[in-house]
Chain A
């Protein structure tokens, strides 16, 4: 046995194929990101001479200085996005986790309420009626509307419900015999046991709010409010990437910054928080999805 292990194992043909294909794929995914980061640190003169290079030929922070400079809305967009993300995640998770726990128990009317929720996974009012609702509620141009419109999702609640159901009932029954109310059982017994699952979905919800742009685009009609994604959209101008952004026209020409540099610096600024939480996300999402998949 030990002799066999010492000898180098022969590679299976499928292993060789997978390593080659996947390495190519990984390079294809990484290079555009790397390229964007390089451009964001490049000077305009060097970019004009060599639009593609593996490292910045003349390292500069001018593009980033422009982003945080006066007259640029990046910082205020950051503030509102952080606000929406934090409040939305806190409120949304509170509402969802409570609902998920209740759906893991049995009580009169459970079936009806659960079906009411399930239906929303496959049918909704649509964009125009939702927009009209927000308008009629007087919530146009408000952060509250952005938070409320994606507060909870049936899918997340079902997976969290499954999580609560996986906890042995004996625990709850014991607490009930001790005279604990359902609220006490929820906060003292069930919540602490489901910390990993709740952490996972909090991160998912937070990423969702961070990336939200569609409702802000429709709702923020006064031009006073914006979020990071919309800021980025305005900097990019249009999909061809050829148009210089409005932000550029206010910029001084003598500096080292340039349209593409500012665009890619903005991309990096918007993406950075996601990159920072990604390792924590990744630790859990395989598990989370797995639970959901089994029970779907």
Chain B
């Protein structure tokens, strides 16, 4: 922080320092109130996970049931299936979606011409700014029975396919469409990292006779190692999320078995049937605790392997 401010601090008593900063507190208060009410307020509701919630008795007055709801998660087939689906989809995303923006960033960097680069980037990034409702509408039309893809298939003499109502195609479609929407946006952070690499490193490699591909492998990739590590840690910390917005807007009853993840499951049991708030809260808490554990674990494992850490 600023040197001058530090020099003013610690000379006078605390009360004086607080009085001096009174206008700063004034500026901060609206945010603090919001933070406490809308971010920490719901945390109080987490108590419901350990209670049999009864609307008449309120959260505090409801009866404690210990870990009953958590035990129920593992004996409810629909819940365990949602957990498995969440893991399978997330791990597949790590394999199929995590590397895509890195490759895209390298390809854009290799592209000749500043202007063309910009135009392409504009195209790749645009879908990120649309909601999954809009994107699902566009893509499901594109993939529908009368859609462009099926017209194309037909013109080649092939049979039409029901892309969205097909259990074995649903998950691959998730990965493809998610890349379609987000890879351009995610590539930006890697492009920024690539731009920060010292150009003399390439020149040195060039003089040594390294081909461009070798330069990418030996200079560019190591140069963005830290960024990749941080993004990977964050991705692992979100494994239990599996992409609610996308799945919620692309799913249909036919693919329910393969599409149901924890978040959609919580939605279904809370808002579409007779709700058991205690159980729903327990599922959500279970989910965020696993996420937190994975985040910390990924942070220390990546730290040990490569020396790159996000938090210390």
Contacts and interface: CB of A to CB of B under 8 A. Distances in A.
Contacts of A274: 129-130
A129 B216 contact: no
B161 to A, nearest CB: 13
B31 A278 contact: no
Interface string B119-134: 0101111110111011
B146 A102 contact: no
24 contacts: A11-B112, A21-B107, A47-B146, A51-B146, A52-B146, A102-B24, A108-B21, A116-B40, A125-B41, A129-B281, A130-B45, A132-B42, A152-B34, A169-B3, A169-B5, A173-B2, A181-B23, A233-B249, A241-B140, A260-B141, A260-B146, A266-B137, A271-B134, A274-B130
A129 B42 CA distance: 5
A1 interface: no
Interface in B126-175: 126-127, 129-131, 133-134, 136-142, 144-148, 151-152, 164-165
B6 interface: yes
A239 interface: yes
Interface string B93-107: 000000000001001
Given A133-B41, A133-B45, A52 B151 contact: yes
Contacts of B111: 15, 18-19, 22
A175 interface: no
A164 B207 CA distance: 42
A15 B137 contact: no
Interface string B18-49: 10010111111011101101111111111010
B141 A241 contact: yes
A240 B42 contact: no
Q: Which 4 A-B pairs have the closest CB atoms?
A: A125-B42, A129-B45, A126-B284, A99-B31
A278 B271 contact: no
A5 interface: no
Contact of B216 (A14, A51, A169): A14
A286 B144 CA distance: 35
Contacts of A242: 144-145
Interface residues of A, number: 97
Interface stretch (B74-82, B83-91, B186-194, B197-205): B186-194
Contacts of B254: 240
Nearest to B123: A26
Determine chain B's interface SS by DSSP, over half rule: helix
Residue among B28, B126, B184, B230 with max Cβ neighbours from chain A (10 Å): B28
Nearest to A126: B284
Interface string B236-251: 0100000001000111
B141 A35 contact: yes
Interface of B: 1-6, 9, 14, 17-18, 21, 23-28, 30-32, 34-35, 37-46, 48, 59, 104, 107-108, 110-112, 120, 122-127, 129-131, 133-134, 136-142, 144-148, 151-152, 164-165, 180, 184, 188-189, 191-193, 212-213, 216, 227, 230, 237, 245, 249-252, 254, 266-267, 270-271, 277, 280-281, 284-285, 287-288, 291-292, 295, 310
Contact of A124 (B39, B151, B249): B39
Contact of A98 (B27, B41, B193, B287): B27
A281 B129 contact: yes
